[in-house]
Every structure is written in structure tokens, then in C-alpha cells.
Structure 1
């Protein structure tokens, strides 16, 4: 009986471990023979099955046999990525397969294993079920002692499949892949439900945001890099869902006064168009910088103008409160009044009323040119709101 006959029987029986043992006993000639037989055996097995599908144990055995006998890097990676050998078990079921793959490829050079892993990682797609590909690529990378792949699919897989939050501190991929969390599209969507998942899966050991924050607190990760990563991700834009996790991480890091000061211009840049949750986060940091005396006239004007044109009433109210509170104390009544006129055209009557009240409260401290600007801006207001503006800013006009 040939070596191929024995391996074929093990494959047909779905005996992954026996398949691995037999493959490791082959010489180079026998490996080439087995490798040449494998594609045809898949077709035979599919033809013999009731619906043309292979059962999971048989697919595992085929994957192990191919990894241990196919010598070319490209061919080996292609074999591991075959769609007709794509497994669908949970991550806890991949451990045995990955152990067998590492065993049958242990004699290969580390560079070979690392390159196969990289090519498998490059085949991971964000829109597909790719758990087995991620686990195989990760296992081969670890066995080779190589740096992890940094393809988009591998990074997202690391965040969703690869490691539990409680295990991050000891993960060999941590230092390479953490910076990629802020660069790869798809990470935000993958971690959007980070808190919810932690609530029903106790084995996760908390949230990703919480674990990264703890590692930064312990000095294991650079908190400056984490904060810069969050802010840069905000500036790239995205939906509220895709930015939710980054906002949670940012808040967990709790920037210090110095850290807020270093990023205040970026926070101001977020105010015009970021999703409301991110804009609210940015406003808090801008107000904090203002309380520290770090907001110059240019930044104040940019921030106020952006906020008062936002469609969210909550943000506009917060901005009005901030402008009212700081107008005289920060000696910027006139810039405040100019900014307030943006709200005169709001569709929300309550916001217009509030803007008029604030303007009237500070009118006496404004110069002639600004007073004229406010009167002109009030021309489109209803009569009930034009009159207090006219009275406060020194012009009596007839009722409409």
C-alpha cells in the first residue's frame, strides 16, 4: 500500500491528526506525489457526497495534507484559501486545526511560513466569513516568529476573532497591530458593539477600549499614540456607528489639560461636520481649552461659527450656553454677537428666542459697527423678536 493510500484513507475518515502524522513521515518524493493527488481527491469526494459538499472533518484533513505537501508558497496559500475547503466552525474549534498545520509545516523555513501566512491574510475580505483564514494565517505567523500581516482583513480579524480583550497584554501582535486600528477601514464597524458584546460574553474579559486604556495607564502602550489615533480617525470622517468605538476609547483615555491643549485645533476642525457624538466630544475639549485660556480669537470664531450652524439643537444649545457664559469674562462680546446672528435664521423658534435674549444681554458692551450688524441680521426675525433687538441695539422700528 502506498503512502498516498494511507493518507487518502485518513482524509476520507476525517482523521486530521492521523493525516498530519502520516504527512510528517513522508520524504520529498512522496510529498510531491501526495500533493499531486489532492485536487483530484476533492473532486472525487464531492462527487460521492449527497449534495456535493464535504464534511468539516474531511476538509480539515485536506487542508492539513495540502499544507504539509505543497512546496510552493503561492500554491500552498491558494490551497488554504480554497472556497470548497472553507470551514465555518467557531474560533474555539480552530485550535486543533491550527496546531496540526503548524506541525506539518514545522520543517519549512520560517520565511516560507511567514510568506504563506501573509498571502492567506491578503485573501481575507471584510464582507465575508473569514474566521478560518484569519486563524490559519495567525498560527503560521506565530510559528514563524514573524511580524503579523497588516492587511485590512487581518487587522479587522484580529479585533474580532483573534484575541479577547483580557488577553491583549500578552498578545504578540499587539505592538504592530494597535496603530493599524486607526488606519484600517472596517475596524470601527467591527468594534461598534464592543460594550454590548462584553455584556453578554463574560469570556471576553471586558471591552477593547477598556483594555487598551488600562494598557496605556500601565505604560504598556503609548497613550499619546492612542489619542492621536482617535483624533486622526475622527478627522477622516465616517458615520456615527463607525466612529463610536473610537469615541469610547478617547473618553476612556480622559485627556489631560496638556493633551487637550496639544490637540485643540484638531478638535475645532471636528465641529462643523463630525457626527453629533464626535462633535459633542470635541466641544467638551474646546470648552476645556477655553477655560484654560488656550482659545485665541481665530479659533473661537471658527468654533462658534461651526457649532451655531449645526442641525442638532442639543449642540446649538450647548454652544449658546458657552457663548453667553464667556462673552464678557473672556472680553469677546463683539465676536460673540457676530456669531449669534447665525441662529437668527434657524428653523427652531426656541433657538432664535434664546439667541435674541443672549444678544440683548450683551448689547450694551458692543461697538457701533457690531450693533448695526446685529440689527441688520435681525431684519428677518418675526416682529416679536425684532423688537427686543431693536430696543437693545438702539433702533426703534415700526411693528411689521
Structure 2
């Protein structure tokens, strides 16, 4: 319905704060519409740094890869100096690929960031997981955080090891019901 109303830039500007709040909406279609409206608003008149940081934090905390990637692409055209607090949210994204893409955005501009921004990133290194923490530590010349096992998004990985074995045994029962057996070392070579 909002698309049919086609609000103009003046109407969007009057509801800028509401649109920013909608970025956290549970439905991705609502968040995507709010994001598109905010991009339109930014195109008409540049948004202030605080609003852009809030938009960045909201978009980089979304679970939908499509929306996070779209925002990282849009950020390539903007200065990152004042957006660092929003970008830090992306470095902590639970999907390692998206956290890595956030670092990919920061990396070429790291040398041009003000010292306070580099210090902010340096302070964030111990809280980062996996490869992103290791890479950022190497880029900043700081001590790397301890390695953690990479996160897996599969429901099977979220279960304890006891439950993982339950999945394997359930597969064995399924194969047995079909008259098949799991290939062992001798059968696999044959």
C-alpha cells in the first residue's frame, strides 16, 4: 500500500525517524521499503552522519543476506569516517561471510581513517570471532583474538554433539529400513 501512495521527498523527510525505526521490522519487505525510502531521501538531500550510522547499524544487524549486501554496496559510495559505530555491528554479524564483507569494505580505507576510528577498531578486535578478528588484528598490527570455531548456520551445528550423533544414528536407521547399509572402509573402496 505504501508503494501505491508514492510519497515524495518532503513526506519522506517528515517521517525520517519512523523510516529508520522500520529498519528493525521483523518482515524484510517492510525493512526493504524503509531502506529504499531512506536511500531516496539521502539522494534528495544528504542525511546527517548520525542518521547514516543508525541506518548502517540497523541494516548490518539484519539476518537477511540480501539486505546486508545491498547496504554494504551502497556504503562503497559514502565516506566511512563517521559511520564506524554502525560498521562495527557488521563486523559482529553471525554470518561469517557478511562480517567478512564488512571488513572488505573497511580494509581499503583503513589507512585514511582518523586515529580515533582506528583506535575504536583496535578496541573491538578482542570481541571479534574467527577470521574477521584475525584479519582486523593483522591489519591494525594488534594481538589477534583467540581462535574460535567457525559458526555454522545449519540447525545440526546448533545442537550438542550428543544430538549430532542422534542425526547420524537416525540416518543409519533410515538406511536399514531401506535395506541399505552405511559404507564402511572396506565397502567404500570396492
Structure 2 length as normaliser, TM-score?
Answer: 0.66
Within a 5 Å distance, the mapping from 1:161-180 to structure 2 comes to: none
1:299 maps to 51
CA contact (8 A) 2:92 2:99 kept: yes
CA contact (8 A) 2:53 2:84 kept: no
Whose RCO is larger (CA < 8 A, sep 6+)?
A: 2
Within a 5 Å distance, the mapping from 1:26-65 to structure 2 comes to: none
Deviation for aligned residue 1:300: 1.6
Structure 2: any 5+ residue segments left out of the alignment? 147-190
Q: Partner of 1:326: helix, strand, or coil? A: coil
Counterpart among 106, 113, 120 of residue 366 in structure 1: 113
State the Cα deviation string for residues 99-141 of structure 1 (Å, max 9, x = none).
Answer: xxxxxxxxxxxxxxxxxxxxxxxxxxxxxxxxxxxxxxxxxxx
RMSD: 2.2
1:343 maps to 90
Q: For 2:21 and 2:50, how far apart are their aligned partners in 1? A: 12
CA contact (8 A) 2:125 2:145 kept: no
CA contact (8 A) 1:267 1:285 kept: yes
Counterpart among 277, 294, 297 of residue 29 in structure 2: 277
Q: For 1:398 and 1:351, how far apart are their aligned partners in 2? A: 20
Deviation for aligned residue 1:343: 1.9
Larger Rg: 1
More helix by percentage? 1
1:381 maps to 129
Deviation for aligned residue 1:365: 2.1
Q: For 1:301 and 1:359, how far apart are their aligned partners in 2? A: 14
State the Cα deviation string for residues 323-359 of structure 1 (Å, max 9, x = none).
Answer: 23212xxxxx223232111122222111011011111
Q: Which 4+ stretches in 1 moved above 4 angstroms?
A: none
Answer yes or no: is 1:251 the counterpart of 2:32. Answer: no
Deviation for aligned residue 1:276: 1.0
Structure 1: any 5+ residue segments left out of the alignment? 1-248, 328-332
Counterpart among 52, 58, 61 of residue 309 in structure 1: 61
CA contact (8 A) 2:53 2:86 kept: yes
1:182 maps to none
The 3 A distance-change label for structure 1 pair 396 and 378 is: closer
CA contact (8 A) 1:289 1:295 kept: yes
Answer yes or no: is 1:287 the counterpart of 2:39. Answer: yes
The 3 A distance-change label for structure 1 pair 284 and 322 is: same
Within a 5 Å distance, the mapping from 1:97-112 to structure 2 comes to: none
